[in-house]
Structure formats: structure tokens, C-alpha cells
Amino acid sequence: MPSQPIRNVSDTALWAAVYRARETERPDALFRDPLARKLAGARGHDISGLLPAKHQNDWAWITRTVLFDRFLLEQIASGADMVVNLAAGLDARPYRMQLPPNLHWIEADLPPLIAYKEELLRDETPNCRLERVPVDLSDRNARKPLFERIAAESKRAVVLTEGLVIYLTREGVGELADDLAAIPSMRAWIVDVVSPGLREMLMKQIGKELSAADAPLLFSPEEGWTFFEKHGWRAAKVQSVLHAAAELKRLKLLFRFFAMFPPPKPPLGKQPSSAIVVLER
């Protein structure tokens, strides 16, 4: 394994793709992403080997994807004409999901990640109108033209940030929330929120490697999803990842035991937990 398998924040996208590849290869897969193995490549494999018990966390990653798929399809069924995937990484939903061919789908991520993805997917055909935008989303000025285009080109947009906000500062997430809320056509935002306890646990497991790559985990608000209220968003749906994984029958005995207790509500503390939240304006 290379001495620094995670070189930068974009390498975490390779890691996410490995989980989707492993799921795809299961006989009882909850979704199939035939491009994931190619996108993850050998580096993705090295990165996933960093964790002490490598398959222990699969259920959390896979359930997150299943919930994002489910909430996204609900938004499309209720008339979304644009999907904006911020920090799309190596996500291949436009290729693996059945979508209205006219749906406008925008993926944004850092320029080197977009270049890598464009190269690997050159010969693939998406199931909707897909475009990719290379941009540093933590830079307000750099993302402004993209947000202006979203306002101009959609009537009803939904934004996804899957695995992004945890890498941003509290202030940065607040500004992003403000800027998204200022887009008149932006109806819903699907986002994952982790508790302070889960962030701490993950930093113990892999914090050294993430910090060395300048990609520490930062955002885990005690207020949970109510954090977004000051920024123009209210939680229309909150789904605990643990409880959804129990329903999907993907938990080992100990976690099944934890899932017998009700999902935590804000303020979130030391208890490790995560939720997928649908925010509406």
C-alpha cells in the first residue's frame, strides 16, 4: 500500500465507490452500480483497506446510498426538473437509475476529480441530460456562476450533498445553506448529518490519514438537522441510517440491539448516529 493512500479530499470518492462496487457484487445487492469497480480503481481498494475491520462499516455506506436514492426518486416523482449533485465524486446515479430522459442533472466537484471521471466515463451513456461542472464548492465566488445557472435553468430543483458537509466548517455549511436557499427554484436538499459522537469515532478510526490529506472530518452539529433552520431550511423527513439498515436486514447482532432504541433527536451528543435528511424551504 502507498505510504499515503489518501492524498486529498477527492480520494474519499474512490473509497465511497469501493463500497458501491462491493454491494454490486453481492447476490442480494440493494442496488447495482456496474461502473463503481472501474471508477474506484486500485487506489480505492488500497484506501478501503485502511480501516481496522474493513467490512464492518459497509451497512452504513450502503444504507446511505439506498436512502439518497429513495428520497431522490420521490423528488423526481413530484416534479423536480433538475438534480444538482454537489460533490458528486464518483457517483454514477445518472447511469444506473431509471430517470426521465429530459431530467437535467448537474454534477459538481473539484476539477481533478471531474477530469478523472470524464476520462473514465467517456464511452458511457447517461439516462438523462448530464453535465459536469469543475468547481471548488467551498469558494463562494467560484460557485456563484453555477448557482445563478441553476436559478435560470430550473423550475423545480433538488440538490444532493452526499458525504460533503462533514468536510466543511460550520461556517462554510451555513453559507452553503444560505446560498442554496437563495435560489428561488431550489425546493429540496437531501443531506447526511452525523452526530458529534460518530464524527469522533470516525476520526479515531481514520482521522490520522484524513488529516494528513488535509481532509479532516469537521461538521457534526449538536443541533443536528435543526442547524439548517437559521439558514432557511426545515427538515421535512429525517431517517436514521441505523434504523433503515435494520429494516434492510443489513445489521449484525450488536447493531440490531442498538436499533431497538428510538433514533436520537437533537441535541445530538456522544452517541454515534447519522441521519439522511430531506430539507425543504
Ligand X SMILES: C[S@@+](CC[C@H](N)C(=O)[O-])C[C@H]1O[C@@H](n2cnc3c(N)ncnc32)[C@H](O)[C@@H]1O
Q: Residue for cell digits 486529498?
A: 8
Question: Residue 101 carries which side chain, given as an amino acid letter?
Answer: P
With contacts defined by CB under 6 A, name the span among 98-106, 131-139, 240-248, 270-278 that binds ligand X: 131-139
* Region 31-90 residues binding ligand X, contact defined as CB under 6 A: 87-90
Count residues near ligand X (CB under 6 A): 20
Residues 6+ apart with CB under 8 A from 256: 246
Q: SS3 of 100, please?
A: coil
Applying CB under 6 A, which of residues 5, 6, 13, 191 lies at the interface with ligand X? 13
Tell me the closest approach of the beta carbon of residue 145 to ligand X, in angstroms: 14
At 79, list the grid cell: 416534479
Segment 188-207, which members bind ligand X (CB under 6 A)? Answer: none
Closer to ligand X by CB, 142 or 267: give it: 142
Query: Which residue number, 13 or 80, has a Cβ lying nearer to ligand X?
Result: 13
- Toward ligand X, which CB reaches closer, 50 or 266? 50
Residues in the chain: 281
219: helix, strand or coil: coil
Across the beta sheet with 82-86, what order do the strands follow? 129-134, 104-109, 82-86, 157-161, 186-194, 274-280, 234-240
Binds ligand X (CB under 6 A): choice among 66, 84, 99, 113: 113
For ligand X, the closer CB: 164 or 194: 164
As a whole number of angstroms, the distance between CA 202 and CA 55 comes to 14
> Where on the chain is the footprint of ligand X (CB under 6 A)?
9-10, 12-13, 16, 87-91, 109-110, 113, 136-138, 162-164, 167
